[in-house]
Structure 1
């Protein structure tokens, strides 16, 4: 039982072209990178694909999985909207990976130890586990960013990008929750769950690293170094 593949993507509502409308083309490169990362999970022949994102509580979600983007301005159904509405992170995950059958939220304020324990639990759920991890970087990269400009944001995001590129679980686990909160980082807890799930050598590749609209978005894929 082990984590054999992971994909890391952001979860802005504007990732969905119908919501972005006239600005849809601005994120075409990001969408292409997300598609490549999710395709990597399919190529890994995982037994269990788990979609992981942050919310107010740590909960394993029950089917049906889906919801609507109406809270973000357009009544567009994603997945099966007949059940409980998924939080934004998992809703975008359902849009990216419509065939996924496992959805797990982690509390945004979960401490690193909690995240590590959840990661180990998820990695042990099947012989070959794949994780689709949703999370944004800092929202403080420019004066027009949601959190205005913070001079610490660029270095914080550069460290996260390097950790994702190198499949560096130790670096992700060492992220300071307090600093991440101050920089409006939505991905800290999910990334630290991923760090806890890594139980073998893995190769990382960063597919996207940019901060449109002043928010840092990363796309990465991790692959187990199998014999």
Structure 2
């Protein structure tokens, strides 16, 4: 059963070594993520599952590792439990592993990458399955909002992006599983919202769990929507 969740964005710039001289620009976001992960780890979990986007569906149940070498930083991270064999963690899950390593997490941990074009009903079903893996399951959900929030954004400006992100922020803050389940995959793809599929995994996992939500952070630095939320 899902008993707690933390929702964080996953830009590589969240890692100070990657951001270098610009690290201070995301101090507020970094602090909010630290608080959300800390609350998640304090929930007396039996199993923690990371969920983030990836180029293809993959699951890590015996540990896993990732690195920031692609950004020119000689920094590697690993999931809290298990080895480092198998495929490398996707970039979003690598940021999640960094957040957990930074928090000193040591509990059994799985990870799941979901592709951006995954159907909503499949994500809802996946979430339900993850919630049933143990009596006390926690999710760390990694995903960004629209990358089309300004003319300087990676995908340039789309007038629909602000409204889409506002509804996501409201739903995350209210633990509104129905609203997250109703997010349109096509619109999410057009707005370059990489968090759509992971958020719908969360929605499936939290159905019937009676969790409440708290939005810790909402902003769009660099033209990309970032949200931090806690569900408990």
Fold-level similarity (TM above 0.5): yes
- After TM superposition, the structure 1 = structure 2 runs for residues 120-131 of structure 1, keeping only pairs within 5 Å, are 120-131=128-139
The CA deviation string for residues 92-139 of structure 1, in whole angstroms up to 9 with x for no partner, is 010011336211111221101100110000000000110000000000
Q: Mean alpha-carbon deviation: is it higher for 71-80 or for 128-137?
A: 71-80
Alignment pair present for 1:7 and 2:6 = yes
Q: Residue 153 of structure 1 is aligned with which of 150, 156, 161? A: 161
Alignment pair present for 1:209 and 2:218 = yes
Segments of structure 2 that go 5 or more residues without pairing to the other structure are: none
Query: TM-score scaled by structure 2?
Result: 0.92
Q: After TM superposition, give the deviation of residue 75 of structure 1 in Å.
A: 2.2
Q: After TM superposition, give the deviation of residue 76 of structure 1 in Å.
A: 1.3
Specify the alignment match of 1:96 in structure 2. 99
Is the contact between residue 51 and residue 133 of structure 1 (CA under 8 Å) also seen in structure 2? yes
The CA deviation string for residues 173-210 of structure 1, in whole angstroms up to 9 with x for no partner, is 00000010000001000000000001321110000000
Q: How many pairs align? A: 222
Q: What SS does the corresponding residue of 2:212 show, helix, strand or coil?
A: strand
Q: Distance in 1 between matches of 2:231 and 2:91?
A: 23
Q: Distance in 1 between matches of 2:209 and 2:60?
A: 27
Query: TM-score scaled by structure 1?
Result: 0.94
Q: Distance in 2 between matches of 1:73 and 1:149?
A: 29
The CA deviation string for residues 47-99 of structure 1, in whole angstroms up to 9 with x for no partner, is 11101111122221144422210112222112279533211111001001133
- After TM superposition, the structure 1 = structure 2 runs for residues 1-227 of structure 1, keeping only pairs within 5 Å, are 2-79=1-78, 82-83=84-85, 84-98=87-101, 99=105, 101-198=109-206, 199-223=208-232
Moved over 4 A (4+): none
